[in-house]
């Protein structure tokens, strides 16, 4: 059927035409059959670079073209050996480049797949979360606030549903969806309010819908070609290195021209100097740098995945290392989000509830005396509302719902849900806060199933972080009851009465105060508190909107639940402190609850401030900027407050990492330097806005990601130092020798070989170097720090110059003792250059010196260096290779000379560092030192 008309059909007709069941959905078998027929629910991908194209791309490089030119000229001049060797080097270089880029490309693609969307689908009558690509027409799906609609759908049931369709219609105001039939055949997409479209976002409410089109058949599919954008995902560092690379090409070419000119002026043969020039230019230009940076980034990202942090935007890897503040949600990120009700307050009395986690065993007691909740009208109502105003599901670990009969029977006998002999463990599907209320109910024998016969839900006003409450309207014995639960301080405004000593009485000021005191007493013990209320609806009264339903309520009481902090978080917060990163808690929960948990976790220092949403709203931006550095906890905030907090911190010069899970958190996540979404509880909207997703929702994972981010950046600095110092050394040897009119210290093939073998492998091994032990004891790096900062430029130049001078010295000394044996001196120079670089590579691992780190720690590096040494020996000693590389055998005396001169650059500088007392003093970075309100950079002192 043409999709044009789905909006003109009634829900029943759509269900009939799709041959599905509105409640139990398709069967698994039918879904599989339809998937085979319709194909997967994906938009066809843009063109992928095929491996062959990638391989061919390697030979388009400017440097390769120069080498090809050199091969041709050598061939034309009859120097076939040179021509073949250069050709072999081109091919090997190409293959190495291909392997590097292919790996990088593959891991980037794997990253994309990791963040693939999912959908909640009903099949065989059961709700399951499946990959959105497996949806088929006829599937019944469930949608809630924050979901990305996974296919084109016709709504069957909606509860205050709003969908943002700007991706399709350009209209950014969310559309209120409904289920009635629309008659105009050519109604524009934006007016088809009974349809939902792939790729649009649910901003509020919940819905049940039937899939009417998937993949390229959807409205989005029709314009897929238009929206396919190629996201290059290059990081700022990669851009800067690209520019640096261009500059280096110019410098290297200029120096090469000078070397060649000087050589020819001093009587060197023109062909020899031409080859030497080409080789030098090729060797001096770090053309492998971008690929190695990509590999280091990609491998680092894979390490992050192992540590449960999924990077969605590559540039954030760099920014992570600069993070100076982490703003974290409380529930689920700092805490376990495993709620257990431990206290109840009703009618002025406080009750305790025993039991562990989600196990449905426990008792309600008052001053040690067991209470039968079913015989206490207020407690019974409290528990009932908790179970009715609830969307969570309690499942046995084996997967079955808790048997209501057993619970009823146990309850009838006055016991908790089951006897200890038949202990079962339970888990929660859905919101843990609601799960805790289900567990509470089942401890007193009250389950959803046991209430189902008497109460039927007719309407729901879903929970959202703005209202901080949820309500349902249920039908009961011919009448309707509104059941509400939510944040006590806010719900109080909706209440006119209270259940007090068994009677409904007006909620007077005194009673209000009593309730608030009970709320605060619980919150101070780090409990999350929910108030529960109800109202009997009069027959003719309308209950269609939240305003109509949630007013004149009768407060029943409070439920206080513990949510233990995650064990690893305390250490992670300490690590942050040592790393100069401030942790800020931003939560929708009560101020006292937040403060108590912040103290437990070590977030709140003695002079740290806690403020709530109301106080924040009353502050001007200037006021906030002035105080924001002292505030460690923001409580009872609405999601939109988060954006103000991020902006204020950024104005103070901070690099902000911000977590979030809901739809309304998306703007703050986007605005933060590193937006972090929750993999488990996060909505699709928040994930799409984020640059990092935590697959375990855990704060400690953010710290792990920051550590990796810092390490990746340091590793990039390490191999930049190694490659550039090597290049400086190579150019200098040739440059000085030519200027002084000496013979060529290195023949062209040797230079090409050094470039290929000595540079590539060790540099890659540096890219995966383990971090230095004090990595998380240093202050964050300023965001605008130059890559050559912290003396890196000096190190490159000093080591490079020393490597060049030492190589030249070894060459000159050998030549002086055996003036007729140029090949011997060249072989010594070659070996000295290679060995000096291979020793220097270990020095690059440390910000201090070679003596400050265990040389054998990076096994890949040791292996790379050993294989480079093996290859060097092969080139020197294998008879067949000697004519190619123009080498000769070296004796012990020569090797002694080689090793002494090769060691000088590293050991001399290392000894200097040790004598100076270790590392040059670290600079202390003080944040927020700029003018208040100005976008100040960190001040370095
Ligand atoms: P965060 O995750 O941002 O640290 P939070 O999860 O504690 O904070 P919200 O989920 O916005 O914050 O909850 C705020 C308040 O809303 C809670 O303190 C609680 O009183 C109330 N609340 C939470 N969940 C529900 C729910 N499912 N139904 C009704 N009220 C709820």
Instruction: Give, as one character, the DSSP assignment of residue 401.
Output: B
Instruction: Examine residue 324 and state whether it is found in any structural domain, yes or no.
Output: yes
Greater pLDDT, 625 or 359:
625
Rounded Cα–Cα distance for residues 86 and 231 (Å): 36
The reply to whether ligand 1 has any atom less than 6 angstroms from the CB of 315 is: no
Greater pLDDT, 384 or 289:
384
Distances (CA, A) of 727 to 143, 194, 802, 803, 850: 58, 66, 12, 10, 20
Residue 417 pLDDT: 44
Instruction: Examine residue 658 and state whether it is found in any structural domain, yes or no.
Output: yes
Q: What is the CATH number of the domain that holds 102?
A: 2.70.150.10
Name which residue sits closest to atom 31 of ligand 1, judged by CA: 486
Residues 321/102/727/853 CA torsion (nearest 10 deg): 50
Atom of ligand 1 nearest to the CA of 389: 28
Q: Does 703 have pLDDT greater than 80? A: yes
Rounded Cα–Cα distance for residues 659 and 676 (Å): 4
The reply to whether ligand 1 has any atom less than 6 angstroms from the CB of 469 is: yes
Residue 618 pLDDT: 94
Count of other CB atoms within 10 angstroms of residue 134: 18
Rounded Cα–Cα distance for residues 149 and 204 (Å): 13
Atom of ligand 1 nearest to the CA of 329: 4
- 121 alpha carbon – ligand 1 mean position (Å): 26
Greater pLDDT, 876 or 69:
876
Give the confidence band of 45 by pLDDT, cuts at 50, 70, 90: low
Greater pLDDT, 525 or 47:
525
Cα angle value 327/333/337 (rounded, 5°): 145
Please tell me whether residue 708 adopts helix, strand or coil conformation. Answer: helix
> What's the rounded mean pLDDT across residues 548-577?
94
Greater pLDDT, 139 or 57:
139
The reply to whether ligand 1 has any atom less than 6 angstroms from the CB of 343 is: no
On whether both 318 and 349 belong to a single domain, the answer is no
The reply to whether ligand 1 has any atom less than 6 angstroms from the CB of 468 is: yes
- The DSSP H or E segment spanning 920 is none
The reply to whether ligand 1 has any atom less than 6 angstroms from the CB of 641 is: no
Residue 815 pLDDT: 93
DSSP string spanning 712-726?
HHHHHHHHHHHHHHH
Greater pLDDT, 663 or 445:
445
Question: What pLDDT digit, counting tens, does each position of 765-780 carry?
Answer: 888 899 888 889 989 9
- The pTM for the full model equals 0.78
Give the confidence band of 113 by pLDDT, cuts at 50, 70, 90: low
Residue 403 pLDDT: 46
On whether both 220 and 255 belong to a single domain, the answer is no
Q: Taking the alpha carbons of 251, 252, 257, 260 in that order, is the dihedral positive or negative?
A: positive
Retrieve residue 382's tokens.
């409290």
On whether both 668 and 732 belong to a single domain, the answer is no
- 529 alpha carbon – ligand 1 mean position (Å): 9
Instruction: Examine residue 781 and state whether it is found in any structural domain, yes or no.
Output: no
Q: Does 846 have pLDDT greater than 50? A: yes
- 379 alpha carbon – ligand 1 mean position (Å): 22
Name which residue sits closest to atom 2 of ligand 1, judged by CA: 331
Rounded Cα–Cα distance for residues 699 and 784 (Å): 26
The one catalytic residue in 329, 589, 625, 684 is 329
Rounded Cα–Cα distance for residues 440 and 469 (Å): 19
Rounded Cα–Cα distance for residues 339 and 437 (Å): 9
Q: What is the CATH number of the domain that holds 805?
A: 1.20.1110.10
On whether both 828 and 906 belong to a single domain, the answer is yes
The reply to whether ligand 1 has any atom less than 6 angstroms from the CB of 721 is: no
The reply to whether ligand 1 has any atom less than 6 angstroms from the CB of 145 is: no
Question: What pLDDT digit, counting tens, does each position of 673-692 carry?
Answer: 999 998 888 888 888 888 89
For the packed helices 509-524 and 591-601, what is the interaxial angle rounded to 10 degrees?
10
Cβ atoms of 283 and 755 closer than 8 Å: yes
User: What average pLDDT is seen over the chain?
Assistant: 84
On whether both 439 and 553 belong to a single domain, the answer is yes
- 150 alpha carbon – ligand 1 mean position (Å): 27
Q: Does 650 have pLDDT greater than 70? A: yes
- 202 alpha carbon – ligand 1 mean position (Å): 19
> What's the rounded mean pLDDT across residues 247-259?
83
- 569 alpha carbon – ligand 1 mean position (Å): 21
Rounded Cα–Cα distance for residues 742 and 736 (Å): 8
Cα angle value 32/126/25 (rounded, 5°): 55
Question: What pLDDT digit, counting tens, does each position of 295-335 carry?
Answer: 788 778 888 888 889 888 777 888 899 999 999 999 889 99
Rounded Cα–Cα distance for residues 504 and 498 (Å): 6
- 336 alpha carbon – ligand 1 mean position (Å): 14
- 322 alpha carbon – ligand 1 mean position (Å): 31
Greater pLDDT, 415 or 396:
396
Tokens 């431990």: give the residue.
342
On whether both 367 and 510 belong to a single domain, the answer is yes
On whether both 746 and 869 belong to a single domain, the answer is yes
- 687 alpha carbon – ligand 1 mean position (Å): 20
Retrieve residue 192's tokens.
């088809």
Instruction: Examine residue 939 and state whether it is found in any structural domain, yes or no.
Output: no
Catalytic residue at 697?
no
Lowest model confidence (mean pLDDT) among 85-94, 189-198, 743-752 = 85-94
The reply to whether ligand 1 has any atom less than 6 angstroms from the CB of 98 is: no
Lowest model confidence (mean pLDDT) among 33-37, 76-80, 382-386 = 76-80
On whether both 292 and 180 belong to a single domain, the answer is no
Residues 239/241/242/245 CA torsion (nearest 10 deg): 170
Atom of ligand 1 nearest to the CA of 585: 4
On whether both 159 and 278 belong to a single domain, the answer is no
The reply to whether ligand 1 has any atom less than 6 angstroms from the CB of 463 is: yes
Q: For a substitution probing ligand 1, which of 472, 486, 515, 594 has the most ligand atoms within 8 Å of its CB?
A: 486
Instruction: Give, as one character, the DSSP assignment of residue 565.
Output: B
The reply to whether ligand 1 has any atom less than 6 angstroms from the CB of 644 is: no
Greater pLDDT, 43 or 362:
362
Instruction: Examine residue 412 and state whether it is found in any structural domain, yes or no.
Output: yes
The reply to whether ligand 1 has any atom less than 6 angstroms from the CB of 208 is: no
Atom of ligand 1 nearest to the CA of 588: 12
The reply to whether ligand 1 has any atom less than 6 angstroms from the CB of 530 is: yes
Cα 656 to chain centroid distance, Å, stands at 14
Q: SS in 3 state form for 123-155? A: ECCEEEEEEHHHCCCCCEEEEECCCECCCEEEE
Count of other CB atoms within 10 angstroms of residue 109: 12
Cβ atoms of 357 and 338 closer than 8 Å: yes
Q: Does 230 have pLDDT greater than 50? A: no
Rounded Cα–Cα distance for residues 835 and 664 (Å): 58
Greater pLDDT, 137 or 169:
137
Name which residue sits closest to atom 6 of ligand 1, judged by CA: 331
Domains identified in the chain, total number: 4
Strands 674-678 and 656-660: parallel
Instruction: Give, as one character, the DSSP assignment of residue 26.
Output: B
Instruction: Give, as one character, the DSSP assignment of residue 443.
Output: H
Cβ atoms of 332 and 697 closer than 8 Å: yes
Lowest model confidence (mean pLDDT) among 2-6, 55-59, 257-261, 426-430 = 2-6
Residue 276 pLDDT: 79
Q: What Rg value do the Cα atoms of the chain yield, rounded?
A: 35
> What's the rounded mean pLDDT across residues 367-395?
91
Residue 271 pLDDT: 79
Rounded Cα–Cα distance for residues 555 and 486 (Å): 11
Cα 349 to chain centroid distance, Å, stands at 46
Atom of ligand 1 nearest to the CA of 529: 20
Name which residue sits closest to atom 17 of ligand 1, judged by CA: 589
Atom of ligand 1 nearest to the CA of 332: 2
Cβ atoms of 210 and 15 closer than 8 Å: yes
Give the confidence band of 570 by pLDDT, cuts at 50, 70, 90: very high
On whether both 39 and 108 belong to a single domain, the answer is yes
Instruction: Examine residue 186 and state whether it is found in any structural domain, yes or no.
Output: yes
The reply to whether ligand 1 has any atom less than 6 angstroms from the CB of 471 is: no
Atom of ligand 1 nearest to the CA of 486: 30
> What's the rounded mean pLDDT across residues 814-831?
93
Q: For a substitution probing ligand 1, which of 589, 642, 661 has the most ligand atoms within 8 Å of its CB?
A: 589
Residue 934 pLDDT: 35
Tell which of 231, 249, 266 closes a domain: 231
On whether both 264 and 344 belong to a single domain, the answer is no
- 841 alpha carbon – ligand 1 mean position (Å): 53
Q: For a substitution probing ligand 1, which of 436, 492, 530, 598 has the most ligand atoms within 8 Å of its CB?
A: 530
Q: Show Cβ contacts of residue 716 under 8 Å, excluding neighbours closer than 6 positions.
A: 237, 293, 296, 297, 767, 787
Tell which of 185, 210, 231 closes a domain: 231
Name which residue sits closest to atom 24 of ligand 1, judged by CA: 433
- 466 alpha carbon – ligand 1 mean position (Å): 10
Q: Does 483 have pLDDT greater than 50? A: yes
Q: For the chain, what percent of residues have pLDDT higher than 70?
A: 89
Atom of ligand 1 nearest to the CA of 334: 4
- The DSSP H or E segment spanning 870 is helix 859-877
On whether both 733 and 810 belong to a single domain, the answer is yes
The reply to whether ligand 1 has any atom less than 6 angstroms from the CB of 652 is: no
Residue 610 pLDDT: 96
Q: What is the CATH number of the domain that holds 319?
A: 3.40.50.1000
Nearest to 387 by CA among 398, 397, 373, 375: 373
Compute the residue count for the chain: 941
Atom of ligand 1 nearest to the CA of 490: 20
Residue 112 pLDDT: 58
Rounded Cα–Cα distance for residues 233 and 318 (Å): 12
Tell which of 562, 591, 616 closes a domain: 562
Q: For a substitution probing ligand 1, which of 144, 331, 434 has the most ligand atoms within 8 Å of its CB?
A: 331
Give the confidence band of 859 by pLDDT, cuts at 50, 70, 90: very high
Instruction: Examine residue 679 and state whether it is found in any structural domain, yes or no.
Output: yes
Q: What is the CATH number of the domain that holds 543?
A: 3.40.1110.10
The reply to whether ligand 1 has any atom less than 6 angstroms from the CB of 434 is: yes
The reply to whether ligand 1 has any atom less than 6 angstroms from the CB of 589 is: yes
Residue 398 pLDDT: 55
CA atoms within 13 A on the CB side of 182: 21
Q: For the chain, what percent of residues have pLDDT higher than 90?
A: 44
Instruction: Give, as one character, the DSSP assignment of residue 1.
Output: -
Instruction: Examine residue 777 and state whether it is found in any structural domain, yes or no.
Output: no
Name which residue sits closest to atom 16 of ligand 1, judged by CA: 468
The reply to whether ligand 1 has any atom less than 6 angstroms from the CB of 379 is: no
Cα 55 to chain centroid distance, Å, stands at 31
For the packed helices 236-265 and 270-284, what is the interaxial angle rounded to 10 degrees?
160
Host domain of residue 131: 1-231
Atom of ligand 1 nearest to the CA of 661: 2
Count of other CB atoms within 10 angstroms of residue 454: 12
């Amino acid at each position: 059927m043409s999709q044009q008309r789905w909006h003109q059909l009634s829900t029943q007709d759509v269900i009939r035409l799709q041959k599905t069941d509105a409640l139990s959905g398709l069967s698994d078998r039918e879904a599989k059959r339809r998937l085979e027929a319709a194909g997967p629910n994906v938009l066809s991908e843009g063109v992928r670079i095929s491996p062959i194209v990638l391989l061919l791309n390697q030979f388009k490089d400017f440097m390769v073209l120069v080498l090809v030119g050199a091969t041709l000229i050598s061939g034309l001049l009859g120097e076939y050996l040179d021509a073949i060797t250069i050709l072999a080097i081109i091919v090997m270089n190409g293959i190495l480049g291909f392997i590097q880029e292919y790996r990088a490309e593959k891991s980037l693609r794997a990253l994309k797949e990791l963040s693939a969307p999912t959908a909640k689908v009903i099949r065989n009558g059961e709700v399951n979360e499946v990959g959105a690509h497996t949806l088929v027409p006829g599937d019944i799906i469930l949608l809630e606030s924050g979901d990305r609609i996974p296919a084109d759908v016709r709504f069957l049931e909606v509860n205050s549903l709003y969908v943002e369709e700007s991706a399709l219609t350009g209209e950014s105001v969310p559309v209120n969806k409904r289920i009635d039939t629309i008659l105009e055949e050519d109604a524009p997409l934006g007016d088809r309010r009974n349809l939902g479209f792939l790729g649009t976002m649910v901003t509020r409410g919940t819905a049940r819908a039937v899939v009417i089109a998937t993949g390229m058949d959807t409205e989005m599919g029709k314009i897929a070609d238009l929206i396919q954008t190629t996201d290059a995902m290059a990081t700022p560092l990669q851009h800067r290195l690209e520019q640096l690379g261009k500059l280096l090409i110019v410098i290297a070419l200029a120096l090469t021209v000078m070397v060649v000119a000087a050589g020819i002026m001093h009587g060197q043969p023109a062909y020899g100097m031409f080859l030497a020039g080409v080789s030098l230019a090729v060797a001096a230009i770090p053309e492998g740098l971008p690929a190695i940076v990509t590999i280091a980034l990609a491998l680092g990202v894979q390490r992050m995945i192992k540590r449960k942090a999924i990077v969605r935007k590559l540039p954030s890897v760099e920014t992570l290392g600069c993070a100076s503040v982490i703003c974290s949600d409380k529930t689920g990120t700092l805490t376990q989000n495993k709620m257990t009700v431990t206290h109840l307050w009703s009618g002025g009395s406080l009750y305790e509830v025993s039991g562990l986690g989600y196990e449905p065993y426990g008792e309600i007691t008052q001053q040690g005396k067991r209470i039968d909740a079913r015989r206490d009208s207020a407690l019974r109502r409290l528990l009932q509302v908790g179970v009715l105003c609830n969307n969570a599901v309690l499942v046995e670990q084996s997967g079955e719902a808790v048997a209501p009969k057993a619970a009823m029977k146990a309850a009838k006998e006055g016991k908790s849900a089951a006897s200890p002999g038949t202990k079962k463990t339970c888990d929660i599907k859905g919101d843990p806060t609601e799960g805790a209320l289900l567990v509470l109910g089942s401890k007193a024998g009250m389950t959803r199933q046991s209430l189902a016969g008497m109460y039927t839900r007719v309407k729901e006003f879903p929970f959202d972080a703005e209202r901080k409450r949820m309500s349902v309207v249920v039908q009961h014995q011919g009448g309707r009851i509104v059941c509400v639960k939510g944040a006590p301080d806010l719900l109080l405004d909706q209440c006119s009465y209270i259940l007090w000593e068994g009677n409904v009485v007006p909620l007077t000021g005194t009673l209000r105060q009593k309730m608030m005191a009970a709320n605060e007493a619980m919150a101070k013990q780090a409990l999350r508190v929910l108030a529960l209320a109800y109202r009997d609806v009069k027959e003719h009264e309308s209950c269609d909107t939240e305003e109509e339903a949630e007013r004149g309520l009768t407060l029943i009481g409070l439920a206080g639940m513990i949510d233990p902090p995650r064990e690893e978080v305390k250490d992670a917060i300490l690590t942050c402190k040592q790393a100069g990163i401030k942790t800020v808690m931003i939560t929708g929960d009560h101020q006292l609850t937040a403060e108590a948990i912040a103290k437990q976790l070590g977030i709140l220092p003695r002079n740290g401030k806690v403020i709530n949403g109301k106080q924040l709203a009353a502050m001007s931006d200037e006021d906030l900027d002035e105080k924001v550095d002292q505030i460690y906890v923001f409580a009872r905030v609405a999601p939109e407050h988060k954006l103000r907090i991020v902006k204020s911190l950024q104005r103070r010069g901070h690099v902000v990492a911000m977590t979030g899970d809901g739809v309304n958190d998306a703007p703050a996540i986007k605005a933060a330097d590193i937006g972090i979404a929750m993999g488990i509880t996060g909505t699709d909207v928040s994930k799409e806005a984020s640059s990092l997703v935590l697959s375990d929702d855990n704060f400690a994972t953010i710290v792990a990601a920051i550590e990796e981010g810092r390490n990746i950046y340091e590793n990039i600095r390490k191999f930049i130092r190694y490659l550039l110092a090597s290049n400086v050394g190579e150019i200098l040897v040739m440059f000085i020798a030519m200027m002084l009119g000496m013979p060529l210290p290195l023949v062209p093939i040797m230079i090409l070989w050094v470039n290929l073998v000595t540079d590539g492998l060790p540099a890659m091994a540096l890219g995966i170097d383990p971090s230095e032990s004090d990595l998380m004891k240093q202050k964050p790096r300023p965001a605008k720090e130059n890559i050559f900062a912290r003396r890196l430029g000096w190190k490159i130049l000093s080591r490079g110059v020393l490597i060049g001078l030492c190589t030249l010295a070894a060459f000159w000394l050998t030549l002086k003792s055996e003036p007729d044996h140029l090949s011997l001196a060249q072989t010594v120079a070659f070996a000295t250059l290679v060995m000096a670089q291979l020793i220097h590579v270990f020095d690059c691992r440390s910000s201090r010196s070679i003596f400050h780190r265990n040389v054998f720690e990076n096994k890949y590096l040791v292996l790379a260096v050993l294989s480079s040494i093996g290859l060097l020996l092969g080139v020197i000693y294998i008879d067949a290779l000697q004519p190619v590389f123009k080498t000769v055998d070296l004796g012990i005396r020569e090797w002694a000379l080689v090793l002494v001169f090769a060691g000088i650059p590293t050991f001399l500088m290392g000894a200097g560092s040790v004598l100076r007392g270790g590392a040059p003093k670290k600079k202390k970075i003080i944040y927020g030192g700029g003018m208040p309100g100005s976008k100040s950079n960190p001040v370095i002192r």
